[in-house]
Amino acid sequence: MFSQFSAQHIRGLMLVTWCVVFATRHDPVTLFIHYAGFTLLGVLGAVFANATGAGGGVVFVPFFNQMGFTPSATVATSFAIQCFGMTAGAITWWRFHQKQSTLVEQKRAQKSAQKMHNEQWQSIYSVLILVIPTSVVGLLIAQFNPSWFGPLANGDMLHIGFGIFSILLAISMFFMVALTGRKPPISQLRPLDSILLPIICICGGIITAYLSIGVGELLAVYLIMRGFNVTFSIACAVILSAITVWSGVIYHALVSQTIYWPVVLFAGPGAALGGILAKRLVLRFSAKHLKLFFASWILLLGLTGLVL
């Protein structure tokens, strides 16, 4: 009751804040006419981002490029929108985990389901402790030291390399779905994971700095291919992506100052709505269908990366 009461008040406060900001803008009627359509873009990008953990940049970046945004404005605006969508998705997934963990067990079947959930999700803290700091470090290194990466800093070669890498990952996942038997998902990290996860996420943080996507995709793919529960993998990726984009948007707001705020004003709330709806989409599908959906989304990311 208290959490629901608090959530309702937080949503109400956010709505009031948005109305105040909108009303104080110059010529709000014209602003609404020109930019209200971006709300749908925010919903669409956040639904796919929070249903896969890969980030909404794959929707936002091509769209903003077509609109003629500069590369810096494209990435910066995408970061700002994802702060709304990925945060809403991260909170939604975390509340789902907490609700399942504290569910009152009235029937034996519920006890069994509760035990299975706890076993599958018991590594979430270990995963997040390993991946969040390294992702943020990779992101900040790329943002404040672009000269370290030479030609990669302009984004062109990185798009091509990331596109090829994503396509290979997608193909691997399609084969995994076709060949893997009905084994129960694993629930424990192995020692090698403690080495590989930080390496993967520091690289993912660097990629995210230039594309506004990447680290969530890499984490989700790794966890799924390791045999973790698909829902668990996506939730970890969404939480990681949310913290990463918040770390990165500070640079764009204070240093590059290239965020296109009128778009964020409308696409941001839409993304928040999409982040809430995404969990329902994920929970409606079986693990196999989720893997196929995720692999298809990764393939789309790769093809998009090659043509951007």
Instruction: Show the low-confidence residues of the chain (pLDDT under 50).
Output: 1-5, 104-108
Cα separation, 123 vs 126, in Å, equals: 5
pLDDT at residue 68 in the model = 85
Residue 104 pLDDT? 43
224 half-sphere exposure, CB direction, 13 A CA radius? 33
User: What pTM, to 2 d.p., does this model score?
Assistant: 0.84
Q: Determine contact, residues 78/212, Cβ cutoff 8 Å.
A: yes
How far apart CA 285 and CA 39 sit, in angstroms, is 26
Identify whether the C-beta of residue 84 lies closer than 8 Å to the C-beta of residue 275.
yes
- Residue 71: the pLDDT is 83
Q: Give the model confidence (pLDDT) of 80-101 as tens digits.
A: 999 998 988 888 888 887 776 6
Residue ranges of the alpha helices (H) in the chain? 2-23, 28-35, 38-52, 57-66, 71-101, 108-121, 124-144, 156-179, 191-211, 215-226, 230-251, 261-283, 287-307
Domain extents in the chain: 36-102+109-307
- pLDDT for the residue 153: 62
In this predicted structure, what is the pLDDT of residue 182?
Answer: 60
